[in-house]
Chains A and B, each alone.
Chain A
Amino acid sequence: MNFRWEWEVFLRDTGGGETYLHWMFSAWGWTLSVAACAWIIAILFGAVIGTLRTVPSLLLARLANAWVELFRNIPLLVQIFIWYHVIPSLYKPLQEVPSFILVVFALGFFTSARVAEQVRAGIQSLPDGQRYAGLAMGLTLPQTYRFVLLPMAFRIIVPPLTSESMNIIKNSSVAFAVSISELTLFALQAQEETSRGIEVYLAVTGLYMLTAFAVNRLMAFVEQRVRVPGTLGAAR
């Protein structure tokens, strides 16, 4: 095989007064922004919806179920298109909203359904006695969740949340579909303009891997920090 690497391609000017390297890093910034904002939404909504799925109120539990089923049974890409094309034409004020926001909500809600499932599983894995003990000392049900159930449930689900946090970085690549200038869109456009697809894709792949790996290490650190003394695997 007679292939010649041409990494200098990243020093070429894009025609807009910046190099492809610049562009790539700014695209990386968009990827991180989409993922981070969507993650915050996913955790907030996931915590609330997952909690509601375990409360005694049938109505609230059903609403939460509906949320989960709605957002996890539709492919992410289709959801993005619905947010971008369908909802704004049904509800005009949304046409003014930047597509970045729409993508963040689409990805955030999609992931919130998955986080909600983990939160629910985490809460349900706790013995019933924990809920009883909280209520028996006079805590209200919300206080029992806040001080007793959720702190333990979240500790239990750190490992699956790690996967979910890594997924959200990778899933943010669908934002290219609505022209957010993130890494995947950069890769598509840059390889077309430069004809150096191999270098471009490899560089982008590297950045995705680096980011996901960094998230993984960060979550491992969090897991270590919140570990409860006296439980399996904890440093005494």
Chain B
Amino acid sequence: MAMIEMKNLSKWYGSFQVLKDCSTRVDRGEVVVVCGPSGSGKSTLIKCVNALERFQQGEVIIDGISVGAPGTDLPRLRARVGMVFQHFELFPHLSIMENLTLGQIRVLGRGADEARDKGVKLLERVGLREQAEKFPGQLSGGQQQRVAIARALAMDPMCMLFDEPTSALDPEMINEVLDVMVELAQEGMTMMCVSHEMGFARKVANRVIFMDRGEIVEDALKEDFFGKPRSERAQQFLSKILHH
């Protein structure tokens, strides 16, 4: 059953079309990696899923609810979709623990104690229990991104969106974040990840989507994508990033 479904999604910035008739789906428990050259519309695509970006044509349906429909309670829907950003976007004026409890308390209406307990558990899970009272600016990039994942998980999301979660990280910190993501995937979390980490894709993805110039050029099972990509553009892209 589809958790996320996109039907003929198109988006323009002024007269420039950033997304061209994109259709795909992410089933429950599936991990889909979206890759492609920069400027290909991957980030825009994933931001359309929870309506952080508006789109002019087409439809996005999450768990049966149309994101673009006028009556949709977007905050409520977004609360059930976890999102992790390229630049972490922790709230710098809040402690790590407050970052984890803000949404639980203000959106889900949990009590402070309950939210804290949940926060402690999740920090433990990402190996940052001792950092609870620190502030984001005092943590390394890798640590901040793990906190950001914990923050998203604190809302008990039904699926997770990752927008280039490792591309702002120093090389030595990439793996600590990928490890958390792999674990999450193996637990059965539904995930849509914009990422160039082909090792991650090989390990846990069910499908890989390749985008170029606003189009979904290839949407294939992992084995097919890495084995014999059909499009020439995808072949070129892969040969470039897998070169070293």
Q: How far is the CA of A21 from the CA of B136 in the complex (A)?
A: 53
Whether A135 contacts B47 in the complex (CB less than 8 A), given A143-B106, A230-B135, comes out as: no
Closest chain A residue to B79 by CB distance?
Answer: A138
Q: Is B37 an interface residue (CB 8 A)?
A: no
User: Do A132 and B137 touch across chains, with their CB atoms under 8 A apart?
Assistant: no
Q: Contacting chain A: which of B2-10, B81-89, B180-188, B206-214? A: B81-89
Q: How far is the CA of A230 from the CA of B47 in the complex (A)?
A: 29
Closest chain B residue to A129 by CB distance?
Answer: B89
What class of interface size applies to chain B in its complex with A? 20 to 34
User: Do B85 and A138 touch across chains, with their CB atoms under 8 A apart?
Assistant: no
Q: How far is the CA of A155 from the CA of B50 in the complex (A)?
A: 30
Which A residues touch B90, using CB under 8 A?
133
User: Do B137 and A133 touch across chains, with their CB atoms under 8 A apart?
Assistant: no
Give the residue among A136, A152, A229, A230 with the most B Cβ atoms within 10 A: A136
Which A residues touch B167, using CB under 8 A?
none
User: Do A138 and B134 touch across chains, with their CB atoms under 8 A apart?
Assistant: no
Closest chain B residue to A155 by CB distance?
Answer: B93
User: Do A138 and B103 touch across chains, with their CB atoms under 8 A apart?
Assistant: yes
Q: How far is the CA of A234 from the CA of B75 in the complex (A)?
A: 34
Q: How far is the CA of A148 from the CA of B107 in the complex (A)?
A: 14
Whether A138 contacts B138 in the complex (CB less than 8 A), given A129-B87, A151-B93, A230-B92, comes out as: no
Extra 4 A-B pairs, beta carbons < 8 Å, given A135-B52, A229-B137: A132-B47, A138-B103, A139-B107, A152-B93
- List 30 contacting pairs A-B, 8 Å CB cutoff, sorted by A: A127-B87, A127-B89, A129-B85, A129-B86, A129-B89, A133-B89, A134-B91, A136-B50, A136-B52, A137-B107, A137-B155, A138-B79, A138-B103, A138-B107, A139-B102, A139-B103, A139-B107, A140-B75, A147-B91, A147-B102, A147-B106, A152-B91, A152-B93, A155-B93, A228-B137, A229-B135, A230-B134, A230-B135, A231-B92, A236-B138
